[in-house]
Amino acid sequence: MQSAESFIAELDAQNRAALDRIGAAAACEPGAEVTVQRLLLLALKNEIEATECAASFIPSTREIDVKLALARQAGDEAKHFRLIEKRLSELGFDASAFDPGPRSPMLDYLLSLGTTVERVAAGQFTREALAVVRNDEFIRFCESRGDAQTAALYRDVIQPDERHHHDLGRTLLLRLAATSDAQDAARRAAKRTLDLAEELQEIARMKLGVSRAPGC
């Protein structure tokens, strides 16, 4: 069995390889019909699902530090939803009746995870690192379209929260990934999260011409 510190370093390296691929794919120029407003509507779905996911885990999580981290994350994601909704209003779109539609495959997968170490590895540690990568590309897209205000919202408010969630996940995993079984479960959960993210990203690009979309 590895030490928790060694395991986190290994997981970081494995995640980084996938995140680099995802970031490179996300940097592709989207179709001509893709606008900042359209990508912000996708962001609303991401944020409400991230809120639901974190909140759904709280009742069945026994560890108090993880409960509180999930509560913090749920509050942050809900805040992001409202900030994006407000920005859409400023851009001339009324999102008050927004319907996120059916649950995404990513949310279905995350909600299927039954152990705390899997949830932290997949959700806070991996998905939030993914959000940072995607948001960086979205910020660059906003700047290329002359939308400095949306870029600033992500750079100055949303990104610091997402980095904090990832850092919380790292801290929690140092305690939770203390056995070989826990490390194996965390490794599998992180890999499936990134595999699914790549699959969904490619589907969005091929079917809808969407790239540069933000994370959550």
**Residue among 216, 185, 201 at smallest CA distance from 105:** 201
**Residue 215 in this model has a pLDDT that exceeds 80:** no
Confidence (pLDDT) at 205 = 60
Instruction: Please tell me the CATH code under which domain 4-25+33-208 is placed.
Output: 1.20.910.10
**Residue 206 in this model has a pLDDT that exceeds 60:** no
pLDDT tens column, 22-59: 888 777 777 778 899 999 999 999 999 999 999 999 99
Confidence (pLDDT) at 210 = 63
Confidence (pLDDT) at 200 = 80
DSSP string, 19-68: HHHHHHHHTSPPPTT--HHHHHHHHHHHHHHHHHHHHHHTTT---HHHHH
**Residue 61 in this model has a pLDDT that exceeds 60:** yes
Which residues 6+ apart lie within 8 Å of 30 measured at CB? 141, 209, 210, 211, 212
pLDDT tens column, 87-129: 999 999 998 889 999 999 999 999 999 999 999 999 999 999 9
Confidence (pLDDT) at 203 = 64
Instruction: Compare 197 and 214 and report the one with higher pLDDT.
Output: 197
Q: Which of 13-17, 30-34, 77-81 has the lowest mean pLDDT?
A: 30-34
Q: Report the alpha-carbon distance of residue 18 to residue 197 in Å, rounded.
A: 10
